[in-house]
Amino acid sequence: MIKLCYKEYDYKISLEADKNFTDKTGLDLQIVLAKYIECNHLNGEQTLLSRMVSLGSLYSRGVVNHALHSVIKPCHKEVSFDEICDGTFRVGWQLSERPDELSEPYPIIMLQLALDHNDYCNANIPEHKKKVTDTSD
């Protein structure tokens, strides 16, 4: 579940979402998500402000908007790109005193999406593994 600016969105990371993201940005969605995990890991010793700057500096908000829209759109056909842009603009890049997790800044949303996707892939690789046929005859 992606929680953006007091709205909750189901999402699906798929080959279609990845292709849509690549068509819009020229970037690979899985690599973009991996960079959020890497950045968080490498900057774990920094202050929270420094970590937020590092995460927020990975990609422009425009790239983030395309990433979020590409994974939300398969589950919510009615969600426009402008709605996602508005949500990321409103929550911003910096943590503030928020009493809930429904208005986290967009770098944290991207990090959580990356971690969730990584967990999903690790748990489901055996199910999605293609069967290899023996061609050694």
Q: How confident is the model at residue 133 (pLDDT cuts 50, 70, 90)?
A: low
Structure tokens at 102: 């429904």
pLDDT at residue 119 in the model: 83
Is residue 130 pLDDT above 80, yes or no?
no
pLDDT at residue 109 in the model: 92
How far is residue 111's CA from residue 35's CA, in Å, rounded to a whole number?
A: 9
The mean of the pLDDT values for the chain is 86
Task: Give tens-digit pLDDT for 4-63.
Answer: 888 999 999 888 999 999 999 999 999 999 999 999 988 778 888 888 889 989 999 999
How far is residue 65's CA from residue 44's CA, in Å, rounded to a whole number?
A: 25
Query: CA triplet 101, 112, 92: central angle to 5 degrees?
Result: 60
User: Residue 2 in contact with residue 9, Cβ under 8 Å?
Assistant: yes
3-state helix, strand, coil in the chain (%, to 5): 60, 5, 35
Within the chain, strands assigned E span 2-4, 7-9
Task: Give tens-digit pLDDT for 66-108.
Answer: 999 999 999 999 999 999 999 999 887 766 666 666 678 899 9
Q: How confident is the model at residue 134 (pLDDT cuts 50, 70, 90)?
A: low
